[in-house]
Amino acid sequence: MSWRPRASAGLLGGERSVRKEEERRRGSFTRRAAVLGAVQLGAFGFLGSRLYRLQIEEGTRYATLAEENRVSARLFAPPRGRILDRSGKVVAGNRLNWRALLVAEQTADARATIETFSKIVPLGDHEKTRIERDIRRNRRFVPVVLREFLTWEEMAAIEVNAPDLPGISVDMGTTRIYPETEHLAHVVGYVAAPAESDVGDDPLLQLPGIRVGRAGVERHHDRILRGRAGAVEVEVNAVGRVIRELDRREGIPGQDVQISVDSELQKAIRGKIQEGTTAVLLDARNGEVLAMATKPSFDPNIFNSGVSAAQWRQWTASRQTPLINRATNGLYAPGSTFKMMVGLAALEARVARPGDVVHCPGHLDFGNNRFHCHNRNGHGGMNMRTAIMASCDVYFYEMAKRVGMDRIAAMANRFGMGVDLEIEIPGTRRGLMPTRGWRQAQGKPWSIGDTIVHGIGQGFYQLTPLSLAVMTARLATGRAVQPHLTRSIGGRPVRGSRPEDWPSLGIADADLRLMRDAMWAVVNGGGTAGASRLPSQYGQMAGKTGTTQVRRVTREQRERGFNVSQVPREWRPHALFVAYAPHDNPLYALSVIVEHGTSGSGAAAPLARDILVETFQRLGPQRPGQRVAEAPR
């Protein structure tokens, strides 16, 4: 009976072992569950904290980022201000222009996109080169113009193929137009795309299709005409294509600029002149430019779409230099039109009196040199008035010798020659008014012979037609009028429209009267321009002829009886004439230069008469103003 208790003891021990193993396993599971629970709790806590941060603390920021991905803000160019002529006629305006734009950052391969576009709207090689250059030059988010002046058919084709043209959109802009084409090109100027040096930090100049003034009034008043950029917010899809416009803030349009030129008068004058001729017409009382006509010229509209290489070669190869504004940049010796300056310098220096007589035998001998008069037989006894009337060279050789070159130059400077005139045409040349110091600075001496030659407007002078017109206006009024083109900006008149805006030159009244009387005699008293009188209904014109050599005539040629008509045209002298009218109450001042026109009396004076007749017919002989000159006695 002893085996049973031992069997029961073994069974009980096994059961205890099983229970202990189960308890151990339950403890291990509980610990793992606790650890896992703690991990899960930590993860949920972290996620909750992150969600709180994203949605509560930074919700506004991320909402803004999401909105920025959907909404794109873009600048757009404001309308450029117009340029109006004297009567309010538009001479530089804007025309709507549908164009295709490419944003490089919105396409994976800009070159491939351009090639696809060119299959829909053909692009030339020069256009592709220009587009690739613009992409390299601009930031990738800045649109570049693929093609302007799209037709309805081209716009429709672009929209139909939009899925194959990532980054390309159709946009409406404006382009500059010049209705007067070549007639006002040198005055109004033109616009073109900005160069890299222009852009700087100005975002407006990075916009597609933006243009800046490159010449004339367009350049001088560029910032006024340009205005300020506007902004538009558009909704875009995932690839950046515009879905709809959300908001628009209009820019500030450029201001209109009104100029003093009468466009119809300008065209009429250009219709009268030949190639190589320049005419500058001023309001004598206040310096307003009424016309500035020169031939040849160019069509500024060509610069809108870009000048082709062939066109540029044609312009630059032409001997007539159509891109040069002869009125402000052409340089000429003034010839006998300058004799009034020599006379005034002599009178002011008191080295001559109006009645002093100089005998003219047809030449002046000085040392071993002989200086000829245009009248080989001589004029006989000449005083200052008759010397200007007959344009006697010997008289002014003598006056120059007496007064000296420096005093002559100083007088000419007071009358607007060889100085900056500050007209609103950038690049206007001041010309050259020579002096002894100027010559000596070149390491060369100045002789009395040089002074004598300069007494008749020959020699080293380099003056513009504009400066000759200013000289004439100042002679007619005695005031330091400045030439200017701007009448108003944004509808507000600018200073300079009244005679009293300009100060007196400080020249003695008696001396000015003598010059005016002599110029009256040139036309009306038997002088060199007697065949060019004005019709009586327009009053009387006062003026002065001039002829300047372009090739020296040797003594041998003179002795053989030199005939200028027998030489090639490009060797013939230039013809000049300056005038104002009416003589008793000057309204208009004019300078005319006909290149290789042979003589002032034969070519320039008749043209000046015709221009003044046209002016009186269009602008009228009676205009408000002060009586500033006396009638001849």
435-486 pLDDT, tens per residue?
Answer: 999 999 999 999 999 999 999 999 999 999 999 999 999 999 999 999 999 9
How many Cβ atoms sit within 10 Å of the Cβ of residue 139? Answer: 9
pLDDT at 624: 37
State the greatest distance between any 2 C-alpha atoms of the chain, in Å, as a whole number: 184
Identify the CATH assignment for 71-257 out of 3.90.1310.10, 3.40.1190.20, 3.30.465.10, 3.40.50.300: 3.90.1310.10
Report the alpha-carbon angle 147-150-151, nearest 5.
155
Fill in the DSSP letter of residue 95: E
- Six-digit token pair at 195? 């160069």
| Confidence label for 628 from pLDDT (cuts 50, 70 and 90) | very low
Domain spanning 263-296+324-619: CATH superfamily: DD-peptidase/beta-lactamase superfamily (3.40.710.10)
Give strand pairing partners of 364: 371
pLDDT at 9: 52
d(CA 88, CA 263): 10
How many CA atoms, within 13 angstroms, populate the side-chain half-sphere of residue 449? 9
Residue found by looking up tokens 């407007």 in the block: 457
pLDDT at 243: 66
195-205 mean pLDDT: 74
**Residue 246: which H helix or E strand, with range?**
strand 242-249
More confident residue, 27 or 378: 378
129-149 pLDDT, tens per residue?
Answer: 889 988 888 778 778 889 888
Work out the percent of the chain whose per-residue pLDDT is above 90. Answer: 61
d(CA 90, CA 184): 12
More confident residue, 346 or 307: 346
Contacts of 604 (CB under 8 A, 6+ apart): 545, 546, 575, 576, 577, 592, 593, 594, 597
Work out the percent of the chain whose per-residue pLDDT is above 70. Answer: 83
Q: What b/e string do you get for 24-50 counting C-beta neighbours within 10 Å, with b at 16 or more?
A: eeeeeeeeeeeeeeeeeeeeeeeeeee
How many CA atoms, within 13 angstroms, populate the side-chain half-sphere of residue 315? 15
pLDDT at 543: 98
pLDDT at 555: 59
pLDDT at 195: 78
pLDDT at 238: 57
Fill in the DSSP letter of residue 104: G
Please write down the HEC assignment for all residues of 325-379: CHHHHCCECCHHHHHHHHHHHHHHCCCCCCCCCEEECCEEEECCEEEECCCCCCC
pTM over 0.85: no
Contacts of 517 (CB under 8 A, 6+ apart): 385, 632, 633
| Confidence label for 13 from pLDDT (cuts 50, 70 and 90) | low
Mean pLDDT, rounded, of the chain? 87
Give strand pairing partners of 293: 279
pLDDT at 263: 98
- Could you give the C-alpha distances from 215 to 185, 340, 426, in angstroms and in order? 9, 34, 7
Count Cβ atoms within 10 A of the Cβ of residue 339 and give its class: 0-12 exposed, 13-18 middle, 19 or more buried: buried
pLDDT at 235: 72
pLDDT at 625: 38
d(CA 458, CA 315): 31
Q: How far is CA 109 from the centre of its chain?
A: 39
Question: Is the pLDDT score of 299 beyond 60?
Answer: yes
- Which backbone phi and psi does 173 adopt, to 5 degrees? -130, -160
d(CA 220, CA 425): 6
pLDDT at 623: 42
Mean pLDDT check: name the lowest of 155-164, 237-246, 430-439.
237-246
Q: What share of the chain is helix, strand, coil (3-state, %, to 5)?
A: 45, 20, 35
Query: Is the peptide bond between 582 and the residue preceding it cis, with omega within 30 degrees of 0?
Result: yes
d(CA 443, CA 325): 32
350-382 pLDDT, tens per residue?
Answer: 999 999 999 999 999 999 999 999 999 999 999
319-350 pLDDT, tens per residue?
Answer: 889 999 999 999 999 999 999 999 999 999 99
Question: Is the pLDDT score of 125 beyond 90?
Answer: no
From first CA to last CA, the distance across the chain in angstroms is 178
CA R_g for the chain: 41
Mean pLDDT check: name the lowest of 188-202, 262-276, 420-434, 438-452.
188-202
| Confidence label for 198 from pLDDT (cuts 50, 70 and 90) | confident
d(CA 155, CA 540): 62
Question: Is the pLDDT score of 607 beyond 90?
Answer: yes
Residue count of the chain, please give it: 633
d(CA 364, CA 359): 10
109-120 mean pLDDT: 93
537-554 mean pLDDT: 88
d(CA 69, CA 465): 61
pLDDT at 622: 46
Specify the 3-state DSSP secondary structure of 288. Answer: strand
Question: Is the pLDDT score of 273 beyond 50?
Answer: yes
Question: Is the pLDDT score of 626 beyond 80?
Answer: no
Query: Is the peptide bond between 194 and the residue preceding it cis, with omega within 30 degrees of 0?
Result: no
2-24 mean pLDDT: 58
d(CA 629, CA 512): 9
Question: Is the pLDDT score of 604 beyond 90?
Answer: yes
Nearest to 415 by CA among 477, 486, 499: 477
489-528 pLDDT, tens per residue?
Answer: 999 998 877 778 899 999 999 999 999 999 999 999 999 9
